[in-house]
Amino acid sequence: MKGGRVVTGTTATEKLEKAIINGDQKGAEEAAKVILETGVNPVEIIEKHLTPTLKIVGDRFEKGEYFLTNLMLSAEAMKAATTILTGSMSEKSKELLRSQRGMGTVVIGTVKGDIHDIGKNVVSMLLEANGITVYDAGKDLNPTDIIKKAEEVKADIIALSALMTVTMTYAGEVINFLKELKLRDKYKVIIGGGPTTQEFADEIGADGWARDASGAVELVRKLSRKKRVNKHD
């Protein structure tokens, strides 16, 4: 991959990059298996090849050069390859990979009663394209479900999506549950979705609000930088 263009080389890493850009899940899996057999460090492949390639896809989507379908297919190809590459990695190595990305870990989900998850999926994909570790908890989640997932994966940020006015109040319930469990200071909570606003985020005590997927990426970056700074105070 050179200058953001699809390369036509024959090495396994080049085939992997091309498969991700083209949204070719089967091709990505085959290339990942070949790479794994060579004994190359999976972390190096993910950091130097997978993440930068998906970033290109994300950039093309933001510029209107790729459609949502392209983004989803590329993300699925990326996930398939990552699953193969990390399959033999120890938990310690996986933790090292997450720390090397340096952007924190995000758990994202759609609030209780809301089954609309296209917006959440786009945000999740763009976050991953920018090297952020993301765990998708799903849709129509009870507050306890998403908190449990955040605790399980040791998340830094909880991202909540709501696309209906009748369900967005459940974002506030997640924050209230965190307070009851004395976990509020442990997580940054951000919200987004059609009916949500900065005013609503302030009202429920969220740490941030994003108007769209690109805004969510910038917000996570900002909060992650603050967290790293605070750790060094």
What's this model's pTM, rounded to 2 decimal places? 0.70
Whole-number pLDDT of residue 91: 65
- Reference 133, options 160, 152, 156, 161; nearest CA is 156
Residue pair 42/90 in contact (Cβ under 8 Å)? The answer is no
Q: How confident is the model over 176-192, as a mean pLDDT?
A: 96
pLDDT per residue as tens digits for the range 58-116: 888 888 898 888 888 888 898 888 888 877 666 666 666 655 555 679 999 999 999 88
On the CB side of 159, how many CA atoms lie within 13 Å of its CA?
A: 34
Domains, in order of start, for the chain: 12-97 (1.10.1240.10), 102-231 (3.40.50.280)
Whole-number pLDDT of residue 200: 97
In SS3 terms, the chain reads as CECCECCCCCCHHHHHHHHHHCCCHHHHHHHHHHHHHCCCCHHHHHHHHHHHHHHHHHHHHHCCCCCHHHHHHHHHHHHHHHHHHHCCCCHHHHHHHHHHHCCCEEEEEEECCCCCCHHHHHHHHHHHHCCCEEEEEEEEECHHHHHHHHHHHCCCEEEEECCCCCCCHHHHHHHHHHHHCCCHHHCEEEEECCCCCHHHHHHHCCCEEECCHHHHHHHHHHHHHHHHHHHCC
Residue pair 190/223 in contact (Cβ under 8 Å)? The answer is yes
The band of 39, judged by pLDDT with boundaries at 50, 70 and 90, is confident
Whole-number pLDDT of residue 118: 81
Whole-number pLDDT of residue 232: 42
Exposed/middle/buried for 35, CB within 10 Å: 0-12, 13-18, 19+? buried
Whole-number pLDDT of residue 48: 84
pLDDT at 133 over 50: yes
- Average pLDDT in the chain: 85
